[in-house]
Chain A
Amino acid sequence: MAPVLSFTGRGLYCPAGDFHIDPLRPVDRALITHGHADHARPGHGAYLASEGAAPAIRHRLGDIRIETLPFGTRHRIGDATVSFHPAGHLPGSAQIRVEAGGEVWVVSGDYKTGADGLSEPFEPVRCHAFITECTFGLPVFRWRPQAEVMAEIDAWWAENRAAGRVTVLGAYSLGKAQRLLAGIDATAGPVLAHGAVEAMNAVLRAQGCRLPETLPLTPETRGRDHPGALVIVPPSAMDGAWTRRMGPVSTGFASGWMQLRGVRRRRSMDRGFVLSDHADWDGLNSAIRATGAERVFATHGYTEVFRRWLESQGYDAAVVEHGAERGAGLEDGE
Chain B
Amino acid sequence: MKRFARLFDALDRTTRTSAKTAALAAYLGEAPEEDRLWAIALLSGRRPKRAVTAGKLRDWAAEHAGLPAWLVEESYPVVGDLAETIALILPPPQRSEERSLSGWMAWLETLRPLEDEARKAAIREAWDGLPATDRLVFNKLLTGGFRVGVSQKLVTRALAQATGIEEPRLAHRLMGDWTPATTTYDRLILEDDPQDRLSRPYPFCLAHPLEEPGALGLPGDWLAEWKWDGIRGQMIRRGGELYLWSRGEELVTARFPDFAPLLDHLPDGTVIDGEILAWDSAAQRPLPFAQLQKRLGRKTVPKKLLAEAPARLLAYDLLEAGGRDLRERPLAERRDRLAALLGGLPPEVPLGPSPALGFDSWEALEDLRATARERRAEGLMLKRAGSPYHAGRKRGDWWKWKLDPLTVDAVMIYAQAGHGRRATLYTDFTFAVWDGDALVPFAKAYSGLSDAEFAEITRWVRQNALQRFGPVRQVPPQHVFEIAFEGIQESPRHKSGIALRFPRMLRWRRDKPAAEANTLADLQALLRRHG
Give A residues with C-beta under 8 Å from B.
138-142, 257, 259-266, 268, 270-271, 302, 305, 308-309, 312, 323-330
Which of A263, A271, A309 is within 8 Å of B71, CB to CB? A309
Which of A141, A260, A270, A323 is within 8 Å of B424, CB to CB? A260
A266 B421 Cβ-Cβ under 8 A:
yes
State how many angstroms separate the Cβ of B299 from the closest Cβ of chain A. Answer: 34
A324 to B13, CA, bound (A): 32
State how many angstroms separate the Cβ of A317 from the closest Cβ of chain B. Answer: 14
Residue of B nearest to A331 (CB): B455
A192 to B329, CA, bound (A): 60
B13 A139 Cβ-Cβ under 8 A:
no
Check if B15 is an interface residue, CB within 8 A of chain A: yes
* B278-293 near A? 1/0 per residue, CB < 8 Å: 0000000000000000
State how many angstroms separate the Cβ of A267 from the closest Cβ of chain B. Answer: 10
Check if B484 is an interface residue, CB within 8 A of chain A: no
Check if B527 is an interface residue, CB within 8 A of chain A: no
A257 to B81, CA, bound (A): 15
A-B contacts, 11 of them at CB < 8 A, read A138-B78, A140-B78, A257-B424, A260-B79, A261-B79, A266-B451, A270-B14, A302-B74, A305-B75, A309-B68, A325-B462
A262 in contact with B14 given A139-B89, A140-B78 (CB within 8 Å):
no
State how many angstroms separate the Cβ of B81 from the closest Cβ of chain A. Answer: 7
A262 B75 Cβ-Cβ under 8 A:
no
A265 in contact with B75 given A140-B88, A329-B458 (CB within 8 Å):
no
B458 A327 Cβ-Cβ under 8 A:
yes
State how many angstroms separate the Cβ of A213 from the closest Cβ of chain B. Answer: 31
A116 to B68, CA, bound (A): 31
Check if B31 is an interface residue, CB within 8 A of chain A: no
* B61-80 near A? 1/0 per residue, CB < 8 Å: 00001011011101100111
State how many angstroms separate the Cβ of B76 from the closest Cβ of chain A. Answer: 9
Check if B425 is an interface residue, CB within 8 A of chain A: yes
B67 A260 Cβ-Cβ under 8 A:
no
Which of A139, A263, A271 is within 8 Å of B75, CB to CB? A139
Tell me what chain A mostly uses at the interface: helix, strand, loop, or mixed: loop
Interface residues of B in 78-98 (CB under 8 A from A): 78-81, 84-85, 88-89
B65 A139 Cβ-Cβ under 8 A:
yes
Interface residues of B in 417-464 (CB under 8 A from A): 419-425, 451, 455, 458-459, 462-463
A329 in contact with B425 given A139-B89, A261-B12, A324-B462 (CB within 8 Å):
yes
| B80: chain A residues within 8 A (beta carbon) | 260, 262
A262 in contact with B462 given A139-B71, A139-B75, A139-B89 (CB within 8 Å):
no
A259 in contact with B463 given A139-B75, A265-B421 (CB within 8 Å):
no
| A268: chain B residues within 8 A (beta carbon) | 15
B422 A327 Cβ-Cβ under 8 A:
no
A142 to B419, CA, bound (A): 21
B74 A138 Cβ-Cβ under 8 A:
yes
State how many angstroms separate the Cβ of A145 from the closest Cβ of chain B. Answer: 12
A139 to B89, CA, bound (A): 6
Interface residues of B in 239-265 (CB under 8 A from A): none
B85 A323 Cβ-Cβ under 8 A:
no
Give B residues with C-beta under 8 Å from A.
12-15, 65, 67-68, 70-72, 74-75, 78-81, 84-85, 88-89, 419-425, 451, 455, 458-459, 462-463, 465
A262 B88 Cβ-Cβ under 8 A:
no
| A262: chain B residues within 8 A (beta carbon) | 79-81, 419-424
| B78: chain A residues within 8 A (beta carbon) | 138, 140, 260, 302, 328
A260 B72 Cβ-Cβ under 8 A:
no
B84 A261 Cβ-Cβ under 8 A:
yes
| A329: chain B residues within 8 A (beta carbon) | 424-425, 455, 458
A266 in contact with B422 given A139-B89, A324-B462, A330-B459 (CB within 8 Å):
yes
A138 B462 Cβ-Cβ under 8 A:
no
Residue of A nearest to B66 (CB): A139
State how many angstroms separate the Cβ of B294 from the closest Cβ of chain A. Answer: 35
| A260: chain B residues within 8 A (beta carbon) | 78-80, 84, 423-424
| A140: chain B residues within 8 A (beta carbon) | 75, 78-79, 85, 88-89
A257 to B15, CA, bound (A): 19
State how many angstroms separate the Cβ of B468 from the closest Cβ of chain A. Answer: 8
A323 to B463, CA, bound (A): 7
Residue of B nearest to A305 (CB): B74
| B462: chain A residues within 8 A (beta carbon) | 324-327
State how many angstroms separate the Cβ of A176 from the closest Cβ of chain B. Answer: 19
Residue of A nearest to B463 (CB): A324
A30 to B462, CA, bound (A): 27
A329 to B68, CA, bound (A): 27
State how many angstroms separate the Cβ of B522 from the closest Cβ of chain A. Answer: 34
A97 to B410, CA, bound (A): 51
A142 to B65, CA, bound (A): 13
Given A260-B80, A266-B422, 13 more A-B residue pairs with CB atoms under 8 Å apart are: A138-B75, A139-B67, A139-B89, A140-B78, A140-B88, A260-B84, A261-B81, A262-B424, A265-B12, A265-B420, A308-B70, A324-B462, A325-B462
| B421: chain A residues within 8 A (beta carbon) | 262, 265-266
A266 to B424, CA, bound (A): 10
| B459: chain A residues within 8 A (beta carbon) | 330
| B65: chain A residues within 8 A (beta carbon) | 139
| A271: chain B residues within 8 A (beta carbon) | 13
A259 B458 Cβ-Cβ under 8 A:
no
A80 to B183, CA, bound (A): 78
Residue of A nearest to B88 (CB): A140
A265 to B451, CA, bound (A): 12
| A326: chain B residues within 8 A (beta carbon) | 462
| A309: chain B residues within 8 A (beta carbon) | 68, 71
A222 to B171, CA, bound (A): 45
| B67: chain A residues within 8 A (beta carbon) | 139
| A330: chain B residues within 8 A (beta carbon) | 459
Residue of B nearest to A138 (CB): B75
| B79: chain A residues within 8 A (beta carbon) | 140, 260-262
| A323: chain B residues within 8 A (beta carbon) | 463
Residue of B nearest to A272 (CB): B13
A312 to B66, CA, bound (A): 13
Residue of B nearest to A309 (CB): B71
A327 in contact with B75 given A140-B88, A261-B84, A268-B15 (CB within 8 Å):
no
A142 B88 Cβ-Cβ under 8 A:
yes
Most buried by B among A138, A262, A312, A325: A262
Residue of B nearest to A325 (CB): B462
